[in-house]
Amino acid sequence: MTTMARTVIVELTSDDARYILHALEQFKKNCREKVDADEDGEGELTHMYADDIMQAKLIYEKVYNAAEPVFGNKALVVSYELL
């Protein structure tokens, strides 16, 4: 059985890209905490969290690499500093 990958093209503003990247970072952090909490690495879901980390990293890189040349690095960082 052959699986055909489908793709979709989405236009993003700098705000869209910034929050997608931020959400991916938070998701990776959450998954990493769950993997780290499983000391022996034998937890039922640990391998799924590890795969999620890898997939989120690939998606992050794809979005970042497309957005950074257009918007610049500073536009893609979520900051909670007061203006």
Instruction: Tell which residue, 25, 3, 32, has the closest CA to residue 77.
Output: 25
- The total domain count for the chain is 1
CB 75 within 8 A of CB 22: no
Residues in the chain: 83
User: Does some domain include residue 51?
Assistant: yes
User: Does some domain include residue 45?
Assistant: yes
Per-residue pLDDT tens digits for 33-67: 999 988 787 778 888 999 999 999 999 999 999 99
Range of the domain at 26: 14-76
Local structure of 42: helix, strand or coil = coil
Instruction: Tell which residue, 72, 69, 58, 67, has the closest CA to residue 13.
Output: 67
User: Does some domain include residue 41?
Assistant: yes
pLDDT reported for residue 1: 67
User: Does some domain include residue 28?
Assistant: yes
User: Does some domain include residue 20?
Assistant: yes
User: Does some domain include residue 4?
Assistant: no
What integer best gives the mean pLDDT of the chain?
91
Residues 66-83 have a mean pLDDT of: 88
What is the pLDDT confidence band of residue 5, given thresholds at 50, 70 and 90? confident
User: Does some domain include residue 67?
Assistant: yes
**How far apart (Å, rounded) are the C-alpha atoms in residues 28 and 45?**
15
User: Does some domain include residue 7?
Assistant: no
